[in-house]
Structure 1
Amino acid sequence: MLELKQQNCFFIFNYNHQLENQQQFFTPHFWQAENRIIGSAKGRGTTWFIETLDLFGINCALRHYYRGGFWKKLNKDRYQFNGLTKTRSFAEFYLLDELYRQNFPVPKPIGAKVEKCGFNYYRADILTEKIEDAQDLTAFLQHQKISSQGWQQIGNLISRLHQLQICHTDLNAHNILVQHGGTSAENYWLLDFDKCSKKNGNHWKHKNLQRLHRSFQKEICRLGIQFCSTDWFHLMLGYENYTASYSD
């Protein structure tokens, strides 16, 4: 990995050699000037999709960290600085890298930036792999159903994460990605590991699953997704089967 500091900005990159203009990789205007923007997605902010095959061998997604809830009205993107490794972008970068190196289906982290703002605050950005030919689970379920085997795959995936003692603090249907392959089979990925971390014990795992179930119930009403109790049964069956095999 390559770590750099430039004035009040700190960078980390998932490669060992310096690239031209790499400090500007976290600026959408830079990629726009290079005619490399290939799409975007709206969430709390805008995620920009960038053509970077020649640079990294994959295309990328660029995301700036924005606050949510009440505080966004007062402070849209500044966070209290308590050390570089505890910043939102660096912490997510390191966690993604750990999972990616274990062949867990998460986007490969490419780079992260922290910009100090005064003594106690910072802004942050992250650059990750763009998963090709994919859409979030809620978009998929508005038009198609998932097979029982597919739901069990998703359950397996969540159990695998839990066996690694990693709590996805925003585990919801939007952060599960469906990737369409060349056959009828799909692959499933987990996204958005901001504020996620390792936790001891097992007490939190059931609440994590309940959070996911509530998100499905919410999107039945809001988006009309195709989801029923049988689907959840198969998800939990996949979860429990993986948990049992891991314990053995």
Structure 2
Amino acid sequence: MIQRSQQGNSTIWFDDEIISDPTLPLFDASYWQEQGKVVGSASGRGTTWFVQLDDMQAALRHYRRGGLFGKLVEDHYWFTSTEQTRSVQEFNLLRALIQSGVNVPRPIAARAVKSGLTYQADLLSERIPNAKDLVSILQENPLPEVMYHKIGQEIAKMHNANVNHTDLNIHNILIDGQEKVWIIDFDKCCQQPDGDWKQNNLNRLKRSFLKELNKRQIHWKESEFDVLEKAYSSSR
């Protein structure tokens, strides 16, 4: 069950099936390092820390701004309400996607720390076991056609739940050891009525394939995207 805990100027939402004590410094990477439970990290917009919980590994991410404005205001956001903070919105969106049968990481805990008119945010979510993103996979080998079919179906499931993934790219699509497709990174994404955004998601994804084809010479050809789109259309 999802619980909410108020600790000073921090509001924490957590899954009590996984987190028994929300007063622990769950969002502090140094805490996990002291416990000897940091099992890896990934660099992007800041560092995502992978930590070992009792029954799963989790990804700890601190929300940071990108672009030019991010150089000026690195990790503070304008506060309107706790329910509108980026961490709790992504937390709740992941829960809604899971309820709709979409393969996404399980949200574990989210935090918003209010400071005057702004806030900072963090998210702790499941790390998908034995999974690689499409970039890593396609740098080594081409994917069989059946996997593009699965990717198209998974995107259709997400769109059938009316979720607009505003940054759908091949870094955010994973395949695990059982050849199960996962979609990750739902920051700034939302549920909304049908519209052109669904095709825009697909267009953005195709541009991502093309970008990595030129940048990293991944094993991919445009005809494979046709397979993905056909599977997507048949699942809508």
TM range (shorter): over 0.9
- Please tell me whether residue 191 in structure 1 is matched to residue 188 in structure 2: no
Q: SS at the partner of 2:235?
A: helix
Deviations 1:19-39 (A, max 9, x none): 346440010000000000000
Equivalent residue letter for 2:200: K
Deviations 1:58-83 (A, max 9, x none): 21110000000111110110000111
Of 133, 143, 146, the residue aligned with 2:143 is 146
Aligned to 1:101: 99
Equivalent residue letter for 1:160: K
CA contact 1:107–1:131 (8 Å) conserved in 2: yes
Q: SS at the partner of 1:236?
A: helix
- Please tell me whether residue 129 in structure 1 is matched to residue 122 in structure 2: no
- When the two structures are superposed, what TM-score results if normalisation uses the length of structure 2? 0.96
Aligned to 1:163: 160
Q: Aligned partners of 2:40, 2:220: CA distance in 1, in Å?
A: 29
Q: Aligned partners of 1:17, 1:49: CA distance in 2, in Å?
A: 16
Q: SS at the partner of 2:176?
A: strand
Q: SS at the partner of 2:215?
A: helix
Equivalent residue letter for 2:44: G
Q: How does 1:1-248 map to 2 (within 5 A)?
A: 1-15=2-16, 19-20=20-21, 22-52=23-53, 54=54, 57-118=55-116, 120-181=117-178, 186-243=179-236
Q: Aligned partners of 1:20, 1:152: CA distance in 2, in Å?
A: 42
| Structure 1 residues 239 and 18: alpha-carbon distance in aligned structure 2, compared to 1, 3 A threshold | closer
Q: SS at the partner of 1:174?
A: coil
Deviations 1:62-108 (A, max 9, x none): 00000001111101100001111110100000000111233320000
Deviations 1:41-68 (A, max 9, x none): 111111111110x2xx221110000000
- When the two structures are superposed, what TM-score results if normalisation uses the length of structure 1? 0.91
Q: Aligned partners of 1:18, 1:5: CA distance in 2, in Å?
A: 15
In structure 1, list runs of 5 or more residues that go unmatched.
Answer: 244-248
| Structure 1 residues 72 and 17: alpha-carbon distance in aligned structure 2, compared to 1, 3 A threshold | closer
In structure 2, list runs of 5 or more residues that go unmatched.
Answer: none
| Structure 1 residues 226 and 22: alpha-carbon distance in aligned structure 2, compared to 1, 3 A threshold | farther
Equivalent residue letter for 1:204: W
- 1:16 to partner: Cα distance: 6.2
Equivalent residue letter for 1:211: R
**Alignment: residue pair count:** 235
Q: SS at the partner of 1:161?
A: helix
Q: Aligned partners of 1:18, 1:150: CA distance in 2, in Å?
A: 34
| Structure 1 residues 90 and 167: alpha-carbon distance in aligned structure 2, compared to 1, 3 A threshold | same
- 1:202 to partner: Cα distance: 2.7
CA contact 2:152–2:230 (8 Å) conserved in 1: yes
**Percent of counterpart pairs with the same letter?**
38
Equivalent residue letter for 1:154: I
Q: Aligned partners of 1:88, 1:159: CA distance in 2, in Å?
A: 24
Mean CA deviation greater in 10-19 or 21-30: 10-19
